[in-house]
A and B are shown apart, each in its own frame.
Chain A
Amino acid sequence: DAKTTQPTSMDCAEGRAANLPCNHSTISGNEYVYWYRQIHSQGPQYIIHGLKNNETNEMASLIITEDRKSSTLILPHATLRDTAVYYCIVRVQYGNKLVFGAGTILRVKS
């Protein structure tokens, strides 16, 4: 699976949009971009995933560049409860193990 690069940490004001970038320049054509987050001392939580089109669900939006070498996770109205470590993972869909990188620590501040 392709490797990903994320900033170590980011701060965001409560109520504002949080934009978390991820670089995956070696992504293959059949690899999806997955986002998970982990709140302190809990198991990771699935957020969203996509192949090449932008995706949106009740939690977030995923914007994937046309060349698929990078993506951005958008939390439209961040709350204090969104403070967590966010992981961007690239892998073939289904059946493949998830390998976690260091992730981005997002701190939402009031």
Chain B
Amino acid sequence: GAVVSQHPSRVICKSGTSVKIECRSLDFQATTMFWYRQFPKKSLMLMATSNEGSKATYEQGVEKDKFLINHASLTLSTLTVTSAHPEDSSFYICSAGDNYGYTFGSGTRLTVV
């Protein structure tokens, strides 16, 4: 079945630094990928839709300059959290679509200290 690989699984960074999270579709091409964030005991919140070769579409209330998304190839999308602050600490999850629906990565636990 379809596999989506997300790295890193955990990252701790200092406040003010930037962190890049990668999302790769391993055995299929994904023209569209999605990025979610999830706070403890809450549901997944869609942040943005990542389109290969074009600008990402951000959901209302999500700062595009804060969460930079790049989808340069059909198998890779990246999310960069810029100038991270403790309130950006969260669980970030990507997903990619194929002919069978959407497959999710295993998530990235970001802790900003």
Contact = CB atoms under 8 A, between A and B. Distances in A.
Contacts of B101: 34, 46, 49, 94
**Interface SS, B side:** strand
Contacts, number: 49
Contacts of A43: 4, 6, 93, 95, 104-107
A97 B109 CA distance: 22
Interface residues of B toward A: which range? 20 to 34
- Interface SS majority for chain A: loop
B31 to A, nearest CB: 9
Q: How large is the interface on A (under 10, 10 to 19, 20 to 34, 35 or more residues)?
A: 20 to 34
B49 A97 contact: yes
Given A41-B109, A43-B6, A43-B93, A97 B104 contact: no
B46 A99 contact: yes
Interface of B: 4, 6, 32, 34, 36, 43-46, 49, 91, 93, 95, 97, 99-107, 109
Interface of A: 34, 36, 38, 41-46, 49, 85, 87, 94-95, 97-103
